[in-house]
Amino acid sequence: MADLSAFSGSYAEARARFIDTARATGATVYEFRHPTLKGPNGEPLCLDVAVAGPEDAERVLVAGSGTHGIEGFAGSAAQTAWLASGWARRLPKRTAMVLFHALNPWGFAHRARGTEENVDLNRNFVDHDRPYPENPGYAEVHPIVTPESWDDAAQAEVFRQLDELRARIGEKAFSTAFNGGQFSHADGIYFGGHREQWANYAFREAVVKHVAHAKHAAIIDLHTGIGPWMEHIYLCFHPEGSAARKRARDWWGERAVNLAGVTHKALADYQGVLIDAFAAMLPKAEVTCIVVEFGTLERKEIQRANMAGRWLKYHGARHPALARVVHEQFCETFYPSDPRWRAAMLEQSREILDRGIAGIGR
Ligand SMILES: [Zn+2]
């Protein structure tokens, strides 16, 4: 039986486990604490950073968890298990692993995808002083995905209308409209925000403090959801033919760049994503970025869960019994309880992190 002790039942537990394991294994821990907000049990909300290796390493690999709140449970377990795996013996010279724990701590603690302002942190890294990117297709999506009721009949009607829209505008336009990110409807899905979120600020503070000195920098942003059950997929946004894309292929193999296993038929044009902000902040470094998704359910169920998460925030309180069931399904979608899934995810995450550290250390 695999050791699943790195998995936690709450944000506070995950945080304590991460910090304790980091300290016990010789990593140094830093915290970026939200000035006012607390978790559901009054616990502090922090982006915690563990530096494993030299603080001034010229090669720095960041692995982050919880960009999408609830997905942090799996990412946190991956980070904690990696810390507990004897990293000091495997770390190449002049190389550090810097773990960002709970990039969106409010969402993690409240078991939600977005921030306290219903913002998808992974769409929030845009220039808020300039006009926002437009996503005109979302105007048609919004009334479909925001029903007041979320019973079975309401969900069936939502999917009937989404199918109709997809058939009419095509797969790629549908993906961009649905989940590319939007800045027009604050109570909608994949909302990028009308201001920089605290989590955005904290992330950039942490990058300045722990990565800005590096000559070679890389980031693995750990997610769950997209991809086949018990397997992982990579999303690489570096352009075709770029040196960064070649590095991603060298480190993680062909599947790092060929979208193997991605269940989307056509990827959206994403706006304001975290790993792009990371690269933009480090103009003098050689930067490699990758998103890793540990697959859970099929795409339709991921869409259902994201719409359900939005319904919970705006309508759930008026339907407490239904909300409990819906939230349980939501959590199960992004943090499966099946021990086989957890064991597979841990094993794969260790290899992905080790490949990253070996790659940047070469
Ligand atoms: Zn995610």
**Positive or negative: CA dihedral 184, 186, 192, 196:** positive
Across 42-46, average pLDDT: 98
Ligand 1 mean position to 107 CA, how many Å?
A: 11
Q: How does the average pLDDT of the chain come out, rounded?
A: 96
pLDDT at 265: 59
pLDDT in the model for residue 215: 98
Q: Tally Cβ neighbours within 10 Å of residue 253.
A: 13
Note the pLDDT of residue 97. 98
* 225-248 confidence digits (pLDDT tens): 989 999 999 999 999 999 999 999
Residue 1's pLDDT is 73
- Cα 46 to averaged position of ligand 1 atoms, centre (Å): 19
Q: Average pLDDT, stretch 99-121?
A: 98
Tens digit of each residue's pLDDT (9 = 90 or more) over 281-322:
999 999 999 999 999 999 999 999 999 999 999 999 999 999
d(C-alpha 337, C-alpha 341), whole Å: 8
* Alpha carbon of 85 to ligand 1 centroid (Å): 25
Mean pLDDT for the stretch of residues 257-275: 82
Q: Give mean pLDDT, residues 144-156.
A: 97
Q: Token match 């010279």: residue?
A: 93
pLDDT of 208 higher than 70: yes
- Tell me how far the alpha carbon of residue 113 lies from the centroid of ligand 1, in angstroms: 8
Q: Which residue has the tokens 């604490």?
A: 33
pTM of the predicted protein model: 0.97
362 Cα to the center of ligand 1, angstroms: 29
Would you state the pLDDT for residue 13?
Answer: 98
Q: Is a pLDDT exceeding 70 seen at residue 78? A: yes
Length of the chain in residues, anyone? 362
Distance, in Å, from the CA atom of 301 to the CA atom of 291, rounded to the nearest integer, reads 20
How far is ligand 1, taken at its centre, from the CA of residue 223, in Å? 4
User: How many angstroms does the Cα of residue 72 sit away from the middle of ligand 1?
Assistant: 9
CA–centroid distance, 209 to ligand 1, in Å, is 25
Distance 207 CA to ligand 1 centre (A): 20
End-to-end CA distance of the chain: 34
Going from the Cα of 161 to the center of ligand 1, the distance in angstroms, rounded, reads 25
- For residue 79, pLDDT over 80 is answered with yes
Q: How far is the CA of 68 from the centre of ligand 1 (A)?
A: 5
Residue 178's SS3 state is helix
What's the pLDDT at 264? Answer: 66
Label residue 155 by pLDDT band (50, 70, 90): very high
pLDDT given at position 124: 97
- What distances in angstroms separate CA 35 from CA 99, 120, 142, one per listed residue? 22, 20, 33
Burial letters 306-336, b for 16+ CB under 10 A, else e: bbbbbbbeebbeebeebbeebbeebbebbbb
Distance between Cα 178 and ligand 1 center (Å):
15
Distance (angstroms) between ligand 1 centre and the Cα of 307 equals 14
Q: Does the pLDDT of residue 267 top 80, yes or no?
A: no
SS3 call for 233: strand
Q: What's the CA-to-centroid distance between 160 and ligand 1, angstroms?
A: 25
Distance from residue 208's CA to the centre of ligand 1 (Å): 23
pLDDT value at 80 more than 70: yes
Given pLDDT bands bounded at 50, 70 and 90, which one contains residue 269? confident
Sign of CA dihedral 308, 314, 318, 320: positive
Q: How confident is the model at residue 271 (pLDDT cuts 50, 70, 90)?
A: confident
